[in-house]
Amino acid sequence: MRRHRLSAAGTGVLVLAALLSACSSKPVDKTAGWSPNRIHAEAKDELSSGSYDKAIPLYESLEGRAAGTTLAQQAQLDKAYAQFKDGQKAEAIATLDRFMRLHPSSPAVDYALYLKGVINFNDELGLLSFLSRQDLSERDQRAAKEAFESFNEVVTRFPDSRYAPDSRARMRYTVNALAQYEVHVARYYYTRGAYVAAVNRAQQALTDYRDAPALEEALYILVQSYDKLGMTELRDDAKRVLDKNYPNSEFVAKGFRANSKPWWQLW
């Protein structure tokens, strides 16, 4: 009996120790006694120093602590930026979408749209890796298109916004990237003898995008593909359009070798 009582007491000590250990391992909220202004200052310091992983939870605390104020709205935007810089792009876009849903009349909506565009624009640069990969036939263009939509909304809804000029520039860049993508795929098909597929992609570029430098090559691919298919009337029509719009086209003289200069230098 005595041994049993000692064993039970020992077990109780172990359980108590485990509970105390669990309590001590719970994360401590260091901001518990801080004012919203102090949290904001600390978060701003972490953001400025590049400690984005430390800034994010501070902005989350500030958002809850200052709920219903403009400071809380600013915390959401700053958190989105910190998430973007920390490589959490999906989370950053979700934060921005939530901000615009909760505060549709906020004077900072133009910035939220612009930042969302920049995040997708940054992802879009991966799209350009096709320039060094000649075996690609398909690539997801969703990020580029979503970037364009965000920038277009900035320009359309907020034409006088401080972010409108850069949005316009990025829209032009994105349009050309998308056009060049279609032309790259058309060239990919042409070089592999898939002339009908090459025609379809070249026509897609000509239909969807206007005044992009890549369209010169799209017309050249049409001429060459129709020639390979024996469709002489369509070939001659495409050649007339090429000559009219690009009377000094180097593609006519050099073929695909004319595509030696990076497209962004042509924009």
Q: Say if 225 falls within a structural domain.
A: no
Q: Say if 190 falls within a structural domain.
A: no
Question: How far is residue 162's CA from residue 60's CA, in Å, rounded to a whole number?
Answer: 27
Range of the domain at 46: 38-88
Q: How many domains does the chain have?
A: 1
Q: Say if 101 falls within a structural domain.
A: no
Question: Averaging pLDDT over each range in 28-32, 100-104, 184-188, which range is the top one?
Answer: 100-104
Contact 59, 43 (CB under 8 A): yes
Q: Say if 43 falls within a structural domain.
A: yes
Q: How many CB atoms lie within 10 A of CB 172?
A: 14
The percentage of the chain sitting over the pLDDT mark of 70, rounded to a whole number, equals 79
Q: Say if 158 falls within a structural domain.
A: no
Q: Say if 69 falls within a structural domain.
A: yes
Confidence of residue 263 (pLDDT cuts 50, 70, 90): very low
How far are the Cα atoms of 62, 160, 168, 175, 200 from residue 191, in angstroms, in the given order?
Answer: 57, 46, 35, 24, 14
Q: Say if 56 falls within a structural domain.
A: yes
* pTM of the predicted structure, to 2 decimals: 0.73
Q: Say if 185 falls within a structural domain.
A: no
